[in-house]
Amino acid sequence: MPTSGTGTRGFTLLEVLVVVAIAGFMVAIAAVNLFPGDEEVAKRESGLLALALEDARDQAWFGGRPTAVSIEDARLRQWRLGAERTWEPDTTREKALAAGVRITSLYVDGQELPTNTRLIFLPDGFGVPFRLGVDVRGLPRAIEGDAAGAVRIVQ
């Protein structure tokens, strides 16, 4: 802090402007990271949904039992085929879809099915190709799975 000729202490206008500019720059960077745009949200949410499908696939592969996923009532549910040959929900792997995420279509082996149909993964690692249409904040995305078990996001 410089002193003036009268003995009072203070900041120069230039120092105040530099501090305000630095603070404004930091707020701008924080705002971009704290409030992501629709495109970033769509990428993140469709990625999380694809990871959940890969998790179900992996559960079938490594668990040695068929695993299924259903999406209904804005929730993703994972199911395991039980000893009695009935589907049992795996409540530890259930999760709510984020606000603004909506399933628009489900195609399995090229045939359109209701969006709440269970998507089944077999323990042999091979499956039937599927395409899950997703709308995130008005931006369309799709998650595809092929017969070899690969899951990917397409726009």
Per-position pLDDT tens, the chain of length 155: 555 556 678 889 888 999 999 998 888 887 767 777 888 888 889 999 999 999 999 999 998 999 999 998 889 999 999 888 899 999 998 999 988 899 999 999 999 999 999 999 999 877 889 999 999 999 999 999 998 888 999 97
Q: What is residue 3's predicted lDDT score, i.e. its pLDDT? A: 55
Cα–Cα distance measured from residue 150 to residue 18, given in angstroms and rounded to the nearest whole number: 52
Q: Report DSSP state, residue 97.
A: P
The confidence score (pLDDT) of residue 7 equals 63
Q: What is the pLDDT of residue 124?
A: 87
**How many H-runs (helices) and E-runs (strands) does the chain carry?**
2, 9
Give pLDDT, residue 1: 56
Residues 6+ apart with CB under 8 A from 55: 78, 93
The whole-model pTM stands at 0.75
Give the pLDDT score at 51.
92
6: amino acid identity, one letter: T
Domain ranges for the chain, please list them. Answer: 38-154
Euclidean distance between CA atoms 66 and 44, whole angstroms: 27
Q: How far is CA 33 from the centre of its chain?
A: 17
User: Per CATH, the architecture of 38-154 is what?
Assistant: 3-Layer(bab) Sandwich (3.55)
Report pLDDT for 4.
Answer: 56
Both tokens of residue 21? 């500019």
